[in-house]
Copies of this chain bind each other. A is one copy, B any other.
Amino acid sequence: MPSRARTTTIIDTPEGRKLLRIHGTIARDIGIRIVSGQFQPGEVLNGEVEASDRLRVSRTAYREAVRILAAKGLVESRPKTGTRVSPRAKWHLLDPDVLSWIFEFEPGDDLLASLFELRKIVEPEAAALAAQRRTEAQVTAMAEALADMTEHTLASPEGRAADQHFHAALLEASGNPFLVTLTSGVGAAVAWTTIFKQRHMPLSRDPIPDHRRVFEAVAAGNAKAAHKAMANLVDMAFLDTTRALPGPADRNAT
Residues of the B chain whose Cβ atoms lie less than 8 Å from the Cβ of A115: 178
Residues of the B chain whose Cβ atoms lie less than 8 Å from the Cβ of A176: 114, 117-118
A93 lies within 8 A of B63 (CB): no
A67 lies within 8 A of B23 (CB): yes
Residue-wise interface mask of A (67-100) relative to B, using a CB-CB cutoff of 8 A (1 in contact, 0 not): 1101111000000000000001101111111000
Q: How far is the CB of A69 from chain B (nearest CB, A)?
A: 8
Q: How far is the CB of A88 from chain B (nearest CB, A)?
A: 7
Q: How far is the CB of A121 from chain B (nearest CB, A)?
A: 5
Whole-angstrom CA separation of A184 from B70 in the bound complex: 18
Residues of the B chain whose Cβ atoms lie less than 8 Å from the Cβ of A63: 64
Residues of the B chain whose Cβ atoms lie less than 8 Å from the Cβ of A72: 71
Q: Who on chain B is nearest to A64 by CB?
A: B67
Q: Who on chain B is nearest to A95 by CB?
A: B92
Please provide the chain A residues from 153 to 174 with a CB less than 8 Å away from any CB of chain B in the complex. none
A182 lies within 8 A of B64 (CB): no
Residues of the B chain whose Cβ atoms lie less than 8 Å from the Cβ of A148: none
Known A-B contacts A114-B176, A121-B121; the reply to A92 vs B88 at CB < 8 A is no
Q: Who on chain B is nearest to A128 by CB?
A: B121
Q: How far is the CB of A237 from chain B (nearest CB, A)?
A: 16
B93 lies within 8 A of A95 (CB): no
Give the total of A residues in contact with B, Cβ under 8 Å: 39
Given B88, B118, B121, B177, which contacts A93 in the complex, CB threshold below 8 Å?
A: B177
Q: For the complex, is A234 an interface residue (Cβ under 8 Å from B)?
A: no
B97 lies within 8 A of A94 (CB): no
Residue-wise interface mask of A (21-37) relative to B, using a CB-CB cutoff of 8 A (1 in contact, 0 not): 00100010000000000
Residues of the B chain whose Cβ atoms lie less than 8 Å from the Cβ of A51: none
Residues of the B chain whose Cβ atoms lie less than 8 Å from the Cβ of A185: 92
Whole-angstrom CA separation of A27 from B64 in the bound complex: 13
Q: Who on chain B is nearest to A90 by CB?
A: B181
Can you report 13 A-B residue pairs in the complex whose CB atoms are below 8 A from each other? A67-B71, A68-B70, A68-B71, A71-B71, A89-B181, A92-B92, A92-B95, A94-B94, A94-B181, A115-B178, A117-B179, A118-B176, A121-B121
Q: Contacts A93-B181, A115-B178 given; 7 further ones with Cβ under 8 A?
A: A64-B64, A67-B71, A89-B184, A92-B185, A114-B179, A118-B178, A122-B122
Q: Which residues of A contact B (CB under 8 A)?
A: 23, 27, 60, 63-64, 67-68, 70-73, 88-89, 91-97, 111, 114-115, 117-118, 121-122, 125, 129, 175-182, 184-185
